[in-house]
Amino acid sequence: MKIKNICCIGAGYVGGPTMAVIAQKCPEINVTVVDINENRIAAWNDQDVENIPIYEPGLSKIVEEAKDRNLFFSTDVDAAIDKADMIFISVNTPTKTYGIGKGMAADLKYIELCARQIARVSTTDKIVVEKSTLPVRTAEALKNILDNTGNGVNFQILSNPEFLAEGTAVDDLLNPDRVLIGGDIDTDKGRDAVQALVDVYSHWVERDNILTTNVWSSELSKLTANAFLAQRVSSINAMSELCEKTGADVNEVAKAVGMDSRIGSKFLKSSVGFGGSCFQKDILNLVYIAKSFGLNEVADYWEQVIIMNDHQKRRFASNIVKTLFNTVSGKKIALLGWAFKKDTNDTRESAAIYVADYLLNEQAEIVVYDPKVKKEQVYADLDYLNSRSEKENRQRVSVVNDPYTCTKDSHAVAVMTEWDEFKELDWKKIYNEMLKPAFLFDGRRLLERDTKEEIGFEFYAIGS
Ligand code: UDX
Ligand code: UDX
Ligand code: ADP
């Protein structure tokens, strides 16, 4: 079957860019992205494409090309579902904050709401594609709801996990290492549905790079990929602490190790800790699933990746306190960067949030500069932790839109995100305007030690 109308529920970091690329590459398919968040849809529809709600290099150009041609953004979820042959579910699946599985299991309430809505509205056969990262066997739950509450139409469920990384989303979508499609490959209808989605991606992805599997392999592959990636970061971060004690340099170690082709050089960058919406959530999910099958050794093995990451964030913050003569009370600390990595305005699970929280508990005054993150987001992230009142967060944290205002009169500067522009700052000016001794903490191994020490900084970098 040929797909003519696609609907995507959820206009976020995954749904937005993915649908923009599908629309650009498949001009004969109408793509409608819907969301219940009116502000988000309004921002996607803004006349000025630079105002779209998600910052990704190259994205605004693609949106500009496809929007109002065959790419549409709307809050009318029912209408888009009704019209579509294929529906992507790309809503958020945060970790549960209540009840059984609190702090570990994925909260599937948004997914379930979508399924019930699709079932209620649909009057023609649909292919439903899970795009959000979901626990293994969610497809089964989806199918159950759709088949039992629907209008007797046929639903085929596919799992098509997204592997794009933020900051490089457009490039990852245009040139994916692979596209993974899981479906009910034992039935004709299931195989047809898989083929329909293969045909969409074949517009720009080589057929050999499109893998088809059963639904559960597909679902589990996504969790496995993220767990392996996160594990590499925790592994190198574990080594960073040992490097600091022994005089080895973690960058040198990473290079030497990564040149072994069995290991590979990517994803071995030591940092203040990984963040983002996926790694922690997916590993917690994996741990929860393993435990629910009584696989305690498997669960403990993966949980250690999170324990190490939490340790890395805490260790970075406590090192700041220790170095500043065991107190930061009333001291101004400048944080350069708030996003969880460069080239995105996303702050979910960003290490900066936890470092700031730790320092605030030690009574520090925090000033934040990030080239893409808005002030309200910084406050929302801190408020969400519930460590102190919203009022106090606003009194003790300021967010500025210039790096030099951020660092002026500070006792210490900490690099939290590896934004390229931080390398090019006038570090001499920053030094001159800081209190002395001027402490500089590099949580990303972004800056050169020699030049900073020459200027006069007391320089500390992760893993050296
Ligand atoms: C990740 C996966 O890479 C992607 O395939 C999946 O679809 C979603 O989750 P994302 O979270 O957007 O993507 O970014 P990623 O580049 O993986 O970085 C995650 C975190 O790890 C960031 O905080 C980053 O700074 C950190 N990181 C990454 C390191 O600290 N060191 C590294 O070597 C790599
Ligand atoms: C290892 C290192 O590979 C080598 O670089 C180092 O110099 C010495 O230690 P070796 O122990 O000889 O070499 O063999 P290797 O191929 O690494 O296998 C080690 C064990 O891991 C074997 O029992 C092998 O069967 C097992 N293995 C390896 C797996 O179970 N799965 C794999 O994917 C790879
Ligand atoms: P991701 O990184 O997975 O894309 P986001 O939080 O950026 O996550 O995006 C998910 C989007 O899904 C949000 O904009 C949210 O408003 C939207 N959403 C959640 N539930 C529904 C629903 N039932 N119907 C429509 N949109 C929804």
Protein residue with least CA distance to atom 8, ligand 3: 92
* Among 229, 225, 80, CA closest to 161: 225
Q: What angle do CA 83, 89, 94 make, to 5 degrees?
A: 150
At residue 120, φ and ψ (nearest 5 deg) are -65, -40
Given a contact cutoff of 8 angstroms between Cβ atoms, the answer to whether 155 and 114 are in contact is no
Protein residue with least CA distance to atom 7, ligand 1: 163
Query: From the CB of residue 409, how many other CB atoms can be counted at a distance below 10 Å?
Result: 11
- pLDDT score, position 341: 97
Nearest ligand 1 atom, CA 268: 33
Q: Max CA-CA distance within the chain?
A: 74
- Using CB atoms within 10 Å of the CB of residue 168, give its burial: 0 to 12 exposed, 13 to 18 middle, 19+ buried: middle
Strand runs labelled E in 56-204 = 71-74, 86-89, 126-130, 155-159, 179-183
- pLDDT score, position 141: 86
d(CA 197, CA 193): 7
- pLDDT score, position 138: 84
Q: Is 423 helix (H, G, I), strand (E, B) or coil?
A: coil
Given a contact cutoff of 8 angstroms between Cβ atoms, the answer to whether 379 and 397 are in contact is yes
To the nearest 10 degrees (0 to 180), the angle between helices 296-323 and 351-361 is 50
* Among 92, 154, 93, CA closest to 123: 154
How many angstroms is it from 214 CA to the middle of ligand 3?
26
The residue with tokens 């579509």 is 84
Query: From the CB of residue 256, how many other CB atoms can be counted at a distance below 10 Å?
Result: 10
Give the ipTM: 0.93
- pLDDT score, position 107: 86
Given a contact cutoff of 8 angstroms between Cβ atoms, the answer to whether 48 and 58 are in contact is no
d(CA 300, CA 59): 39
Residues designated catalytic: 278
How many angstroms is it from 301 CA to the middle of ligand 2?
20
Strand runs labelled E in 90-154 = 126-130
| Segment-wise mean pLDDT, segments of 10 residues, the chain, 464 residues | 96 96 98 97 95 94 97 98 97 86 85 94 96 81 88 93 95 98 95 98 98 94 96 98 97 98 98 96 92 96 98 98 98 98 95 98 98 97 96 98 98 98 98 98 98 98 96
How many angstroms is it from 332 CA to the middle of ligand 2?
51
For ligand 1, mutation pick of 170, 172, 232, 271 (most atoms within 8 Å of CB): 271
How many angstroms is it from 262 CA to the middle of ligand 2?
10
- pLDDT score, position 95: 83
Protein residue with least CA distance to atom 13, ligand 1: 165
- pLDDT score, position 79: 97
What is the value of pTM for the model shown? 0.94
How many angstroms is it from 91 CA to the middle of ligand 3?
4
At residue 37, φ and ψ (nearest 5 deg) are -85, 105
How many angstroms is it from 189 CA to the middle of ligand 1?
36
Helix residue ranges per DSSP H, 249-295? 250-258, 279-292
DSSP 290-339: HHHTT-HHHHHHHHHHHHHHHHHHHHHHHHHHHHTTT--TT-EEEEE--S
> Residue 276 has what DSSP assignment?
S
Q: Is 280 annotated as a binding residue?
A: yes
Give the list of residues 6+ apart from residue 328 with CB closer than 8 angstroms, or none: 320, 321, 359, 362, 363, 364, 411, 412
- pLDDT score, position 334: 98
Nearest ligand 1 atom, CA 172: 5
Set out the domains of the chain in order of their start, with CATH numbers: 5-205 (3.40.50.720), 216-464 (3.40.50.720)
Nearest ligand 3 atom, CA 13: 4
Protein residue with least CA distance to atom 7, ligand 3: 12
Give the list of residues 6+ apart from residue 395 with CB closer than 8 angstroms, or none: none
Q: Is 143 annotated as a binding residue?
A: no
Q: How many residues are recorded in the chain?
A: 464
- pLDDT score, position 61: 96
* Among 351, 218, 221, CA closest to 280: 351
Q: Is 425 helix (H, G, I), strand (E, B) or coil?
A: coil
Given a contact cutoff of 8 angstroms between Cβ atoms, the answer to whether 89 and 116 are in contact is no
Q: State both tokens at 40.
A: 């988000």
At residue 405, φ and ψ (nearest 5 deg) are -65, -35
Given a contact cutoff of 8 angstroms between Cβ atoms, the answer to whether 181 and 195 are in contact is no
Nearest ligand 3 atom, CA 277: 2
**Any idea which ligand is nearest the CA of 166?**
1
d(CA 262, CA 140): 36
- pLDDT score, position 113: 93
Q: Is 432 helix (H, G, I), strand (E, B) or coil?
A: helix
- pLDDT score, position 150: 80
d(CA 379, CA 394): 7
Ligand 1 is surrounded, with C-beta below 6 A, by: 162-166, 226, 229, 233, 267-269, 271, 274-276, 278-279, 340-341
- pLDDT score, position 96: 84
d(CA 188, CA 195): 10
For ligand 3, mutation pick of 18, 74, 92 (most atoms within 8 Å of CB): 92
Q: State both tokens at 7.
A: 């609907």
